Structure 1
Amino acid sequence: MDSSEVGTSFSPHLCMSTYGKLEIGAFGRNERCPSILAKGPSILAIVSGTGGRRFSRGRARGLIDVGLVTIWYDVALELRVMNLSGLSLRDLEYVVAIADHGSFVRAAEHCRVAQPSLSAQVRKLEALLGMVIFERTTRRVIVTVEGKSFVDQARRVLAEARLLFTIVQRSDKPFGGVLRLAAISTLGPYLYPRILPALRKKYSGLALVLSEGLTGELVPKLIDGEVDAVLLSLPQTDAALASTAIFFEPFLLACPKGHPASRKGGPTWDALDAEERLLLEEGHCLREQALAGCSAPGRTNRLATSLETLKYMVAAGEGCTLVPALAVSERDAVAYSRLPGTTFSRKVGLAWRKSDPRAMEFSALSESLRQIAKSFDDVKAT
């Protein structure tokens, strides 16, 4: 039997959903082949041409042997070789940036690339994968259901890829010479100035890259490898992270000068009316800790975006709030009073990825921070 015997009546149609399941069918020579496994002396390729996807055309000639039937063929095939040659880490960075920013334009700005180039590369990636990652509308970009799984995995791949640089760049210097340290926004501005002189002295060859943010923002960044460690309020519950306590920080009650709560025997935080309690916006762990100290939290619309704004509101007579001890300053135009017990306090610690090969260095850093904290009058080292 030669190829002429096949004629135009049919050509091989081999659908393969997994490597272990194979179906054989036939279709006319002029029809599009949805899926072909082409196997011969020198080629093995899983191909797909459904859904209007466009791939480079190849011409296969020879013998298909699938173990069940042997067919001679001489047909033009649309081939898509499933390997990693068409996939790059830069492509994954584009995809994650688009998902994070919800916009091709903002993603291009973040990645410092021209927007048309980014869009073209993502379309090329979608064609390679045979899936639509983003639903494009005139107003915004939406991650598709199957695209979400891809984006989540892309984040993990990028995080692991960054570890390669960590391993390669490791030297005799601590943390390979660079440490990206983040802190929650109610802690960083007040703790950094106190710890930096001692850290510079102990880690003289270390370049510190500092940042701040909300817990809900910093933990994903830590998991994704965008920062190396985070100073935050414990406990943290993510199984991918390791953490250790450094110090306990009490909260002080901040009231307008002359307010009854500022006097000895006056009402405490729990006894204040709900409308008198000033809180941070949602997303701040300090907000949740302040509410946890109330037996009847109530509801209030009196919110602020930062601790400093809260203090300004208190000074203006708007109400009272809780302020962490490290954030208290003699320049604040408010009256502070200590609260009894340990209910109104937080445990501050350092968190890092369990997968990070520098675990021993983070433990050593934690101990250094603990020793530094012992010199603070307003906190208690663990």
Structure 2
Amino acid sequence: MSQLPTLRQLQFLLALAEHGSFSRAADAVFVTQPTLSAAIKELEAILGVVLVERGARGATLTPAGEAALTRARRVMTEAEDLVIAAQAAGEPLCGPLRLGVIPTIAPFLLPRVLPTVREQFPKLKLYLREDLTQRLYDALLERRLDAALVALPFEAPMIETHVLGADEFLFCCEPAHPLAQKPSLKSSDLAGEPLLLLEDGHCLRDHALAACSAGMVRSDFAATSLHTLVQMVKAGLGATLLPRMAVAAGLVDRLDLTVRPFDPPVVGREIGIAWRRGSARAEEARQLGEVIQGLLTPPQ
């Protein structure tokens, strides 16, 4: 049987590809530069190809090195999954778990759920990352995240999701706004109404457009966060749609704004947890989702 590369050699190749320098890669994996350089030469000898072009400005991978890098990532990930699966079989939801959360959920849900998660799973160490949905899904596929709290629907290949609950849209405006005085508000009342929305890339924007787009006029202003959005409403630039989750968490408290539900409720999005298909953390993601599901405020 031919000699096989070691996980350590593959780890060094990944570090070299990431840092583009033998010295920086050696620092990243806590070895000396000669140790890392020797390991890469041994790997090249085992594979019978040159993996790295060494130059004064650093190190770059050859085409063969790029091909090896792709498989090295896969092997290292499978090795990590092996460890995770074995640990989860002994005791689920312990050790590190990398959780992504979108910005329109993170500040409104995490403060309520994290204390309960810590209490129920004291050995779990959560590493949190807030980002837009597409970037979180990319991180799941690249195995940089184990799970993500997202808003659905959002289609993505190789991603599985579990719905945790519905989050309805509420209409937010100044007290003097004509729609603030209507006894019953319907989504059709938004026809011709200029609404402030989040900027492109936020799934909440897409959900708002899908739920109430009939005749709706989009304002020229696009916010980067819900906090900015309500301040623009306060400044008289227009009205907007807000998720009930954010309102329940106090987003518009002390702003003297009117928040009205639709009749019947307009469920603009569902809260869900996502993971990469085939992930060793899939069952743990489901378990974490079940805990969060029990803490979600149901639509009122």
Shorter-chain TM range is: 0.7 to 0.9
Q: After superposition, give the CA deviation of every residue in 1:301-352 in whole Å (9 maximum; x if it has no partner).
A: 3111111111111111111111111111233442211123354421111112
Correspondence for 1:209: 127
Q: After superposition, give the CA deviation of every residue in 1:153-173 in whole Å (9 maximum; x if it has no partner).
A: 665455434324424554744
By how many angstroms is 1:220 displaced?
1.3
Structure with a larger share of its residues in helix: 2
By how many angstroms is 1:245 displaced?
0.9
Change (3 A) 1:195 1:370: same
Correspondence for 1:101: none
1:345 maps to 2:268: yes
By how many angstroms is 1:235 displaced?
3.1
Is the Cα–Cα contact under 8 Å of residues 181 and 209 in structure 1 kept in the other structure? yes
Q: 1:186 aligns with which of 101, 104, 120?
A: 104
1:317 maps to 2:236: yes
By how many angstroms is 1:190 displaced?
0.4
Question: 1:93 & 1:318 partners in 2: Cα distance?
Answer: 50
Aligned residues with identical type, % of pairs:
32
Correspondence for 1:92: 14
Aligned residue type for 2:277: K
Aligned residue type for 1:204: P
Aligned residue type for 1:307: L
Aligned residue type for 2:202: H
**How high is the TM-score relative to the length of structure 1?**
0.59
- Rg larger for: 1
Question: 1:176 & 1:267 partners in 2: Cα distance?
Answer: 46
Q: After superposition, give the CA deviation of every residue in 1:174-232 in whole Å (9 maximum; x if it has no partner).
A: 32333222211101110111212322232233222222110011111112222211111
Kindly report the root-mean-square deviation, in angstroms, between the aligned alpha carbons of the 2 structures.
Answer: 3.9
Correspondence for 2:222: 303
Correspondence for 2:293: 370
Correspondence for 1:238: 156
Is the Cα–Cα contact under 8 Å of residues 10 and 72 in structure 2 kept in the other structure? no
Gaps of 5+ in 1: 1-43, 45-81, 99-103, 134-142
Q: 2:116 aligns with which of 184, 198, 201?
A: 198
**How high is the TM-score relative to the length of structure 2?**
0.73
1:281 maps to 2:190: no
Q: After superposition, give the CA deviation of every residue in 1:70-127 in whole Å (9 maximum; x if it has no partner).
A: xxxxxxxxxxxx97479522422453x47xxxxx69xx69x958xxx8xx97xx89x9
What SS is found at the alignment partner of 2:264?
A: coil
Aligned residue type for 2:142: D
How many residue pairs get aligned? The number is: 273
By how many angstroms is 1:233 displaced?
1.4
Aligned residue type for 1:350: I
Change (3 A) 1:297 1:159: farther
What SS is found at the alignment partner of 1:204?
A: coil
Correspondence for 1:248: 166
Aligned residue type for 1:251: F
Question: 2:127 & 2:222 partners in 1: Cα distance?
Answer: 30
Aligned residue type for 1:278: L
Change (3 A) 1:299 1:370: closer
Question: 1:150 & 1:299 partners in 2: Cα distance?
Answer: 49
Q: 1:334 aligns with which of 257, 266, 271?
A: 257
Correspondence for 2:191: 271
Change (3 A) 1:93 1:250: farther
Correspondence for 2:56: none
Question: 1:150 & 1:248 partners in 2: Cα distance?
Answer: 44
Is the Cα–Cα contact under 8 Å of residues 159 and 223 in structure 1 kept in the other structure? no
Question: 1:370 & 1:204 partners in 2: Cα distance?
Answer: 19
